[in-house]
Amino acid sequence: MKKLHGKVAVVTGATSGMALATAKLFVEQGASVFITGRRQPELDAAVQVIGHDVTGVRCDSANLADLDRLFETVRRERGKLDILFASAGYAAPGPTLGTITEAHFDQNFNLNAKGTLFTVQKALPLLQDGASVIMTGTMATTKAVPGLSAYSASKAALHQFARVWSLELKSRKIRFHVISPGPINTPIVAGLTPGQVAGYEVQVPFSRMGEPVEIAEAALFLASDDSTFITGTELTVDGGISLT
């Protein structure tokens, strides 16, 4: 039997990259999946890529009214939720201390921290006992990267969310996880120069970028019954770059 047979999942920010690969794998493993994105054309294209058992809902995870509409759609169409992959996030090289702007700070914290918190909170009435909640962190919470202080701090909040919520929801046996990717071959990487890509690859012990499907496989493990004795932890999928 497929690992997610009969499960209902929501994957936010799933119009490309790691989240799209995850949503596609979840469907292949038997789940009915709702995906979100902020732009309708990209959302429609992602639905076509996945092909079946998928519903696209236009949603900005930093907008609480959008989140209400998302979970009302899930309630109306499926009535429950077994897996939540809160993957929507903001990531971009930023200024160093001394030149950080309020707008840059807000871009990071409004989506990465606030958006993730309220995505999970608004999903709670639908989440089944024993459900799995996965959040997307980053290797930059353990490896200091100049220019990413606001970004890495906003993602570090997710680790404490997972730890505290695992205790707060223990009576319902809801599991909370953080996946922390390293450099992954996503559309963001397509905008880098060959020299920048090589600069990342030389830091990775495996001497290559990761692939979105490698994050998807990790998410599948955490979403499935294979991880029923795991909660409040981080799964680092970075090829070892955080060790260097």
Residue of 85, 90, 151, 176 marked active site:
151
Q: Which residues pair with 57 in a beta bridge?
A: 36
Residue located via tokens 């996503």? 186
Task: Write the pLDDT tens digit of every residue in 114-125.
Answer: 999 999 999 999
For residue 112, the 8-state DSSP code is I
Percent of the chain with pLDDT over 70: 100
Residue pair 38/45 in contact by the 8 Å Cβ criterion: no
Segment (H or E) for 166: helix 149-168
Q: How far apart are CA 2 and CA 9, in angstroms?
A: 14
pLDDT at position 61 is: 97
CA quadruple 88, 93, 97, 103: dihedral, nearest 10: -50
pLDDT bin (cut points 50, 70, 90) of residue 48 is very high
Secondary structure of residue 156 in the 3-state scheme: helix
pLDDT at position 4 is: 98
Query: Does the pTM of the predicted model rise above 0.75?
Result: yes
Q: What's the whole-number average pLDDT of the chain?
A: 95
pLDDT bin (cut points 50, 70, 90) of residue 56 is very high
Is 151 one of the catalytic residues? Answer: yes
Mean of pLDDT values over 12-26 = 97
pLDDT at position 157 is: 97
User: Hey, what are 145's tokens?
Assistant: 């990267």
Task: Determine how β-strand 127-136 pairs with β-strand 175-181.
Answer: parallel
pLDDT at position 93 is: 77
Q: How far apart are CA 167 and CA 173, in angstroms?
A: 9
Burial class (CB in 10 A: 0-12, 13-18, 19+), 200: middle
pLDDT at position 244 is: 84
Task: Write the pLDDT tens digit of every residue in 134-186.
Answer: 999 999 898 888 999 999 999 999 999 999 999 999 999 999 999 999 999 99
